[in-house]
Every structure is written in C-alpha cells, then in structure tokens.
Chains A and B, each alone.
Chain A
Amino acid sequence: MTESHVVTVRGLSKSYGLRRVVDDLDLDVEAGEVLGLIGANGAGKTTTVECIQGLRRPDAGTLRVFGLDPVTQAEQLRPLIGSQLQESALPDRLRAGEAVTLFAGRDGRDGERLLEQFGLSERRRTAFASLSGGERQRLFLVLALLGRPRLVILDELTQGLDPAARRDAWAAVDQLRRDGTTVLLVTHELDEAEVLCDRVVAMRAGRILDAGRPEELVDRHGRRATMRWAARSADGSATLLDELRRLPGVADVAVTERHVEVRGDRAAIAHVGAALVRAEAIPDDLTVRVPSLEDALLELLDGTAEHLSPPAAERELVGAAR
C-alpha cells in the first residue's frame, strides 16, 4: 500500500456456501478518485465493497482502508466511511428528519444542509414508508454523506431515481470529487460509470476482467463504430459500395431497401466520410454511433465468455438496454 491508496485489497476471496463470489481479487483505490466497480449482478461487486466496509469477513486475503483493517479496527474506520447500501431500508415509521438525527451524531447542521441540497427539506416529517423510491434513494445519499466522510461507498446509487433526481445524484458525486473525497461507486448503469468515474474496474464471477479509465476500456474493447444513412439511388452504385468496403477499418457494408450501414473500427469513420465527400454523395441524415463503455463491456464479456462460465442470467444485466 502506498500513501495515495485509500483502499488496498490483496487476494480477497469470499464464498457463500459452495459458491465463490469473490475470487483472489486485488484492488487499489487512490485518494480522491471516483472508482467504479462495474459488471453484471453476481459479479461480486457488492460483496467486495461489503468486505471493504467490514460488513463481511473475507475467507482469504488482506484488506486495508486508510491503513486500517475493516474487521478488527471497524470502530476507528466507520467514521471515515459513508455508505449507501444496495437493498437496505430504514424502519418504516422512521421520519426522514429523525433518520438524519439518528445517523448524524453531533453535526446536525450538516444533515439540514444535505436535506436541503437533495430536496428533502419538505419531507422531513414524512415516514420512510411514505417516501417515493427516488426520495428514499436521496435520503440514503444524505445519510451516506453525513459527517463528511473521506471515503464514500455508493452501491447502485441511482436505482429507482427519475432522470432529474439522477442528475442531482451525479452532481453530488461530482461535488465529492471536487472536494477531494474518494468515491467507490458500484453500478451496472454503464453510462453513469462513464460519466462519473475516473477509473472503472470490470468484474465477472468475482474476478477483475480489466481496469482503467473509461476511455481506455473503450479503446481496448469497444472498437466497433457504425455509420448509417438513408439509402438513395446514388448510394447503391456498385462503385461507391466497393470503395467503402475497401476502406481501412471497414468491416462490413450492408445495404437494405432503406438504409446503408457501414460497420468498422473508429478510424473508419473518417475514411467513410472522406469517401462520401469524394463521391459527392454527402447524406444529410448521416448518424455515427461510436462505442460506449457499455459496448466495451459487452465485447469484453464476449471475449472472456469461453474462459469463465457465469450464470446465464448475468448477460442480460450487463449494459442491458435502457
């Protein structure tokens, strides 16, 4: 562990019964970064962060958070960590304001400020059971940020939030980054990881598949780009289509009655554009789809499918169509 590492995990393994959910995992989280753990349900993300918080005892491996052991030094560590847990709740009849008082400790003003920031001031006297799904998530976020923790762990941060609340939550994470707070974000919302994270770690079956900045993962694994425009008589000419097929980086040119679609790597975009200009066949409805982190992760999972054998149900959840 170096000075800059807030979290250091070495050789972490955890099983539930016979099922190994985290398998010899190494992970470092740098001070001040927003690190995303991405992957399908069952990839071991939540178990990993629960071990980091000391909520689960690892079967093997060492963990240090701010240099402390999360299990044996939990009492010293807990004030330094704020967490928003997946699938947890508050007592039904506990009011939002009471929850803040219960979890805030001495710094009640911090709670008031956060309730205001997340639009919950008016709901202070509302029981948890009567809050909407989005309001509950915002309240969890408020509770996670109480006391200005140095490490914030957010597990499925925006689950159940409407688009506006989602943007507010993203803004809150961005603010944390600017304040120098370290954030560990567990998500399978890949657009969220792409926007918020300095670095992402892609997991599957308890192991790390790859890690890096989102754009690095896209570079490494999301090579495909697609260009598409409405077919016109001129586009159907054999000369132009042949030229497109021969361009560097172009993998496939498909012509249907309605559309021309060119697939290839990202370098092909420029070559196709230039070819269209040369042929004076510039379409006014050209759309270009460049690979996203979601595409990259899907390719990454495809590429490792033969090496790992996850439950079939996992695939549908990775970068699932939203």
Chain B
Amino acid sequence: MSAQAGRLLRTELKLMLRDPLVLTFVFVFPVVTMLIIGGSFGTDPDPEFDGANPSHWYVASYLTVVIAATGLVMMPVHLASYRERGVLRRFAAAGFPRWSFAAAQLAVGLVAIAAASVILLAVAAPVYGVPAMHLPGRTIAGLLLGAIAFVSIGIVLGTLLPSARSAQAVGLMLFFPSFLLGAGGPPPQVMGAALRSIAQFLPLTIVTDAVREPWLGVGTPTGSLFTVAGLAVAATLLAGRRCAL
C-alpha cells in the first residue's frame, strides 16, 4: 500500500467515527433493536426459531443487521456525498490513485462492521449470552463474505446515486425491508407465504442464513454460503469496475 493510500485510510477511519449517521445506524441501531427483539420471545427453544433459543437466534442474526446498515446506508451516503461535493475530484487532482479511495472505503466498511459486531456481542453477552458456534469456520466465512458483498454493494450504490439525499432515501428504502424480512424481524416460519417467498430472495436473508445456520446448528444446508460467495465476487467486481470509471 502506498503512503498516500495509508494516509487516506487513516483519515477515512477517523472521519467514520465522527459521522453521526454511522454511529447511529451501524453502532447504536443494531444494539438497541437486538436488545428489544432479542428479549421478546423468551429463551426456551422454539420450533418457530428452528428449535433454537430465540434470544440466541437474534444475537446471531443481528450481526448481519450491522453488515446491512454498513452496506446499504453508511457506504452509499458517504460515497454519494463525496461525489456530489467534488471531494473525489480533489483527491484525484492531488494524485491519490483511483484504486486507493475504493480500497480505503472497503477497508473502512469492514472495520466498521468488525467494530460494531464486537460492541453488539459485548452488549449481548451479559444480557442474553452469546451462543457457541457449531461450525465456526463456516460462520466466520459467512460473516466475512457477507460483509465484503454488502460493502461492495454499498460502493456500487454510492457510485450510481447522484446525491447524498438520494443515496440516503434509496439506502433506507432497501435497508428496512431487508432488516425486517431478512434478519431482525420475525422468523420466516411466522411470516405469510407471500412475505416468506419475497424474503428468501433478499441478499440479506441469504447472508443471515449463511451466518445463523452454522452458528446455531439449525435449519438445513441451503448452499447459502456458496450463494454469498458468488454475491461477494460479483459485487466486488462491479464495485471495482464502477470505481475505475
């Protein structure tokens, strides 16, 4: 990594911590909603939660809420705002390589997800407990690939949407249905057939399955990890292409 790219990454990390949208959506919102929803269905194993402890089911699910908030809200708004205000042009004129900004954003997104996940688990541990991972390798792979996929989707959205306001509107419109149907809302078993069939095709549902199933040892092998890997590769290639334009 060039010295310039290193300085850019350090600066972007600092700026992330000063951004109220990031603090609210990535760090606070998942924790607060996890505390509320996680305590709503008790702790007894429940068939509607694939036979798992509902609190644990939500603790595992909410890590992907962090991923979605980063990818669908934080990244698009941040990038679109930079494009709208000519910040990227200024970086380009100062000689920052084209790839360095995209790489810094990817790194910042992943760091945000890692930090918010640690906070979420730290808060969940004394309240609901953190369930042991049945298949740690698959769980971590699901988290990592899901994070890369959503951060890349965020970069693509940020390069397509013309302004920070439009990015916020589109981001929130994508985030809340995904959040309610794919990770933080009711379990699929209690949804109506129509909602369940919509939910199963949402990228966030697929990522959540790829994390929750191996973590809690529930559900049936769905190949969701392979789908998430495919999504990560496609989104990263697309993001790289958009940033090279």
Selected A-B contacts with CB under 8 Å, 7 pairs: A53-B93, A87-B86, A89-B85, A89-B90, A102-B8, A102-B11, A143-B94
Instruction: Considering the complex, give the chain A residue whose CB is closest to the CB of B97.
Output: A75
- Name which of A79, A88, A98, A101 has the most chain B CB atoms within 10 A of its CB: A88
Instruction: Tell whether A78 pairs with B87 under 8 Å between CB atoms, given A91-B82, A93-B15, A98-B14.
Output: no
Interfacial residues, chain B to chain A (CB-CB below 8 A) = 3-4, 7-8, 11, 14-15, 18-19, 82, 85-87, 89-90, 92-95, 97
Given contact pairs A93-B19, A94-B11, A98-B14, A105 touches B3 in the complex (Cβ within 8 A): yes
User: Which A60-115 residues sit within 8 Å CB-CB of chain B?
Assistant: 74-75, 78-79, 81, 83, 85, 87-91, 93-94, 98, 101-103, 105-106
Q: Is the CB of B95 within 8 A of A88?
A: no
CA distance A55 to B91 in the complex (A): 11
- Chain B residues in 8 Å Cβ range of A103: 94
Assembled-state Cα–Cα distance A91/B104 (Å): 14
Q: Decide: B18 and A93 in contact? CB cutoff 8 A.
A: yes
CB-based closest 4 A-B pairs: A88-B86, A78-B95, A89-B85, A93-B18
What are the residues of chain B within 8 A of A94 when measuring CB–CB?
A: 11, 15
**Contact indicator B87/A55 (Cβ below 8 Å):** no
Q: A55-B92, A83-B94, A106-B3 are in contact. List 18 more A-B contacts (CB 8 A).
A: A74-B95, A75-B97, A78-B93, A78-B94, A79-B95, A81-B93, A83-B93, A85-B93, A88-B85, A88-B90, A88-B93, A89-B87, A91-B15, A94-B15, A98-B11, A98-B14, A102-B11, A143-B90
| B90–A90 touching, CB < 8 Å | yes
- Interchain CB contact under 8 A, A105 and B4: yes
From B7, B82, B86, A101 is in contact (CB under 8 Å) with B7
Number of A-B contacts (CB under 8 A): 53
**CB-CB < 8 A to B11: which residues of A?**
94, 98, 101-102
Residues of chain A lying within 8 A (CB to CB) of residue B82? 91
A85 to B93: give the CA distance in the assembly, Å. Answer: 8
When A91-B15, A102-B11 are in contact, do A75 and B85 touch as well, CB less than 8 Å? no
Shortest C-beta distance, A83 to chain B (Å), equals 5
Contact of A55 among B3, B8, B89 (CB under 8 A): B89
Contact B18 A102 (CB under 8 A): no
B residues in contact with A143, CB < 8 Å: 90, 94
**Cα of A75 to Cα of B99 in the assembled complex, Å:** 13
A55 to B4, CA, bound (A): 18
**Shortest Cβ distance from A110 into chain B, in angstroms?**
14
Which residue from chain A places its CB closest to the CB of B82 in the assembled complex? A91
Could you say which of B85, B93, B95 has the most chain A C-beta atoms within 10 Å of its C-beta? B93
Q: How far in angstroms is the closest Cβ of chain A from B147?
A: 23
Neighbouring B residues of A106 by C-beta, 8 Å: 3
Collect the chain B residues with CB atoms within 8 Å of residue A98's CB.
11, 14
Shortest CB-to-CB span from A100 to chain B, Å, is 11
User: Using Cβ atoms and an 8 Å threshold, which residues of chain B touch A83?
Assistant: 93-94
C-alpha gap A83/B3 in the complex (Å): 20
Q: Give Cα A81 to B92, complex, Å.
A: 12
The distance in angstroms between the C-alpha atoms of A224 and B3, with both chains bound, is: 57
**A contact residues around B90 at 8 Å (CB):** 85, 88-90, 143
A81 CA to B3 CA, complexed, in Å: 19
The interface residues of chain B lying within 8 Å CB-to-CB of A88 are 85-87, 89-90, 93
- Structural contact, A85 and B87, CB atoms closer than 8 A: no
Q: Counting chain B CB atoms within 10 Å of each CB, which of A98, A102, A106, A143 scores highest?
A: A102
| CA of A30 to CA of B19, assembled, Å | 45
Q: Which chain A residues (236-251) contact chain B, with CB distance < 8 Å?
A: none
Contacts of B89 in A (CB 8 A): 55, 85, 88
Indicate if the CB atoms of A75 and B95 lie closer than 8 Å. Answer: yes
Question: Measured between alpha carbons, how far is A89 from B4 in the docked complex, in Å?
Answer: 19
> Which residues of B are found within 8 Å of A85, using beta-carbon distances?
86, 89-90, 93
Compute how far the CA of A102 lies from the CA of B94 in the bound complex, rounded to whole angstroms.
10
With a cutoff of 8 Å between Cβ atoms, the chain B residues found around residue A79 in the complex are: 95
Quick one: which of A14-59 are within 8 Å of B by CB?
53, 55
Min C-beta distance of B10 to chain A, whole Å: 9
Q: A89-B87, A90-B87, A91-B87 are in contact. Are A55 and B7 (CB under 8 A)?
A: no
Minimum distance in angstroms from B33 CB to a CB of chain A? 26
In the complex, A105→B4 CA distance in Å?
7
B193 to chain A, nearest CB (A): 46
* Set of chain A residues within 8 Å of B97, measured between Cβ atoms: 75
In the bound complex, CA of A101 to CA of B4 (Å): 10
Give the nearest-CB partner of B19 in chain A: A93
- How near does chain A come to B170, taking the closest CB pair, in angstroms? 21
- Chain B's nearest CB lies how many Å from the CB of A104? 9
Bound CA–CA A152/B11 (angstroms): 25
Q: Which residue of A lies closest to B95 (CB)?
A: A78
As a 0/1 sequence over residues 105 to 128 of chain A, the CB contacts with chain B under 8 angstroms (1 = contact) are 110000000000000000000000
Q: How far is the CB of A135 from chain B (nearest CB, A)?
A: 16
